[in-house]
Amino acid sequence: MLANIGVTGLAVMGANLARNFARSGYTVAIHNRSVEKTDALLEAHGDEGSFVRTESLEQLVSSLEKPRRVLIMVKAGAPVDSVIDQLVPLLDEGDIVIDAGNSHFDDTRRREASLAEKGLHFVGVGVSGGEEGALLGPSIMPGGSRESYDALGPMLEKISAKYDGEPCCRWVGTDGAGHFVKMVHNGIEYADMQVIGEAFDLLRHAAGIEPCEQAAIFEEWNRTELSSYLIEITAEVLAQVDSKTGKPLVDVIVDSAGQKGTGRWTVISALELGSPVSGIAESVFARGLSSQRDQRAVAQGVLAAGTEDLGQLPADFVEDVRQALFASKLVSYAQGLDMLSSAAGHYNWDLKLDEIASLWRAGCIIRARLLDEIMKAYDGGEAPKNLLFAPTFSRVIADAVPAWRRVVSTAVRLGIPVPVFASSLSYYDGLRRDRLPAALTQGLRDYFGAHTYQRVGIEGTFHTLWSGDKTEIEAVDTH
């Protein structure tokens, strides 16, 4: 019997995706560079469904029905190219190669173009949900050609997470769109985790609330509009007591956050697009600063605090922090979605923000009640230019903004770093501002570099003769 799909790369993610396909009723041909992983999977889970054991890519390909679907789940980077190079000569026109790893979207664009020349489909698929999601139902963001989705989509939809019975899997756009959307999802995830960390730090060091008591607060917050997977697991992590020391686990974990790169990619890509994802960027930088442990150790002895004794915290400080957390989180989503809009224009993708929000409602790490509202904000009628302009959210944020300002100013006066709370508030204020000091920036650029400027209310491009008699002349547009 020919298999419906082949999976090569059977480490944690590949093995769990293969099992998910098999448990969903598909026959799955499995392959791994070293055969031990293939046998280990069959030994432990071979009875979960219909698997075809293969020892080589040749065997894998010849065991598949047509059009062949081969899903690659190997280490991102050069190994993906190496597997593609081995696969291509074995495939026929119309076959589909799927990369479901965390590949950079530029690599996916390159690979898609190269395989298209050979008559093959290459589909970059963003998968979120970690190990458990891969097995039980991840959020899936497929790119590649629309045509390839017809042959592949139903299978991916079947193994995906479901929200109210709807699959969290939809074709998002051509070539690298799927991996791009997954990358931005991860950027938002960085910001989401950082704002939770900032709230934790404020509750601990401004309000003196111990982690185990905070666990109850986060549990409570999880019953509000903040309801989300990350808030839910924050309560669990904060409640955990270290068996060796009896201290809260969070107090014995080294405070240096790791990163695998997708947050950094999001920021690099945002810089290239000119997209202001300040909350995501600050959360990546916050991880970087946390990792500079040598400098932090020196700083404690040489950098003055200059903090104030506030005497008393604002009344209902805990609720203020909750609102600041929600407002900052909302800004991160707004920035991420705005970045998707910029990318859609730049890469010629027809990204539908309501559909993308709908994919993130279950299965993935940033799943949250908020996403249902976000989906509705973009669904039907004229889409708002920025998520914050949707009436639901402009109202919510208007209610939260006084608390948000109190929290940021309290943090600043106490010397507690709140990079995402503060930068999100600055983004919000920057958006609202009638006139920005960018006018002065333009004046300075014209002074030292003759970069020219535009005038309010008069068409044209101008330059002031700064080193001459300072008269203004009409200049050739250098924009």
Residue 378 labelled as part of a binding site: no
Residue 405 labelled as part of a binding site: no
Q: Which of residues 170-199 bind ligand NDP (CB under 6 A)?
A: none
Looking up tokens 């104030």 gives: 308
Backbone phi, psi, residue 367, to 5°: -60, 135
Q: Which is nearer to ligand NDP, 101 or 211 (CB)?
A: 101
Please, what is the minimum distance in Å from the beta carbon of residue 396 to ligand NDP? Answer: 31
Sign of CA dihedral 418, 419, 423, 424: negative
Please, what is the minimum distance in Å from the beta carbon of residue 183 to ligand NDP? Answer: 11
Residues touching ligand NDP: how many (CB under 6 A)? 22
Span from 127-135, 222-230, 234-242, 444-452 in contact with ligand NDP (CB under 6 A):
127-135
Ramachandran bin of 223, using left for φ above 0, alpha for ψ from -120 to 50, beta for the remaining angles: alpha
Establish if 423 lies at the interface with ligand NDP (CB under 6 A).
no
Q: Which is nearer to ligand NDP, 34 or 312 (CB)?
A: 34
Q: Which is nearer to ligand NDP, 59 or 386 (CB)?
A: 59
Sign of CA dihedral 172, 174, 177, 179: positive
Using only C-alpha atoms, what is the Rg of the chain? 26
- Residue selected from 125, 127, 191, 281 as contacting ligand NDP according to rule CB under 6 A: 127
Q: Which of residues 131-150 bind ligand NDP (CB under 6 A)?
A: 131
DSSP per position, 356-410:
HHHHTTSSSTT-BTHHHHHHHHHSSSSPPSSGGGSHHHHHHHHHHHHHHHHHHHH
Residue 443 labelled as part of a binding site: no
Establish if 56 lies at the interface with ligand NDP (CB under 6 A).
no
Polymer length of the chain = 479
Render the burial of 74-84: b for 16+ CB within 10 Å, e for the rest: bebeeebeebb
Distance CA 398, CA 330 (A): 12
Establish if 17 lies at the interface with ligand NDP (CB under 6 A).
no
Q: Which is nearer to ligand NDP, 168 or 202 (CB)?
A: 168
Is the bond leading into 138 cis (omega within 30 degrees of zero)? no
Residue 395 labelled as part of a binding site: no
Establish if 279 lies at the interface with ligand NDP (CB under 6 A).
no
- Which residues touch 455 (CB under 8 Å, ≥6 apart)? 462
Span from 12-20, 290-298, 385-393, 401-409 in contact with ligand NDP (CB under 6 A):
12-20
- Residue selected from 23, 37, 53, 369 as contacting ligand NDP according to rule CB under 6 A: 37
Q: Residues 311, 317, 320, 322: what is their CA dihedral angle, to the nearest 10 degrees?
A: 140
- Residue selected from 22, 27, 51, 101 as contacting ligand NDP according to rule CB under 6 A: 101
- Residue selected from 5, 7, 60, 73 as contacting ligand NDP according to rule CB under 6 A: 73
Establish if 83 lies at the interface with ligand NDP (CB under 6 A).
yes
Residue 4 labelled as part of a binding site: no
Q: Which is nearer to ligand NDP, 31 or 463 (CB)?
A: 31
Distance CA 363, CA 305 (A): 43
Neighbouring C-alpha atoms within 13 Å toward the C-beta of 230: 24
- Which residues touch 298 (CB under 8 Å, ≥6 apart)? none
Report, as residue numbers or ranges, the catalytic residues.
182, 189
Asked if residues 375 and 361 have their Cβ atoms less than 8 Å apart, the reply is yes
Q: Which is nearer to ligand NDP, 55 or 399 (CB)?
A: 55
Q: Which of residues 188-247 bind ligand NDP (CB under 6 A)?
A: none
- Residue selected from 22, 74, 120, 152 as contacting ligand NDP according to rule CB under 6 A: 74
Q: Residues 321, 322, 328, 331: what is their CA dihedral angle, to the nearest 10 degrees?
A: -150
Q: Which is nearer to ligand NDP, 76 or 289 (CB)?
A: 76
Please, what is the minimum distance in Å from the beta carbon of residue 202 to ligand NDP? Answer: 30
Please, what is the minimum distance in Å from the beta carbon of residue 351 to ligand NDP? Answer: 21
Backbone phi, psi, residue 408, to 5°: -65, -40
Site for ligand NDP, rule CB under 6 A:
9-14, 32-34, 37, 73-76, 79, 82-83, 101-102, 127, 130-131
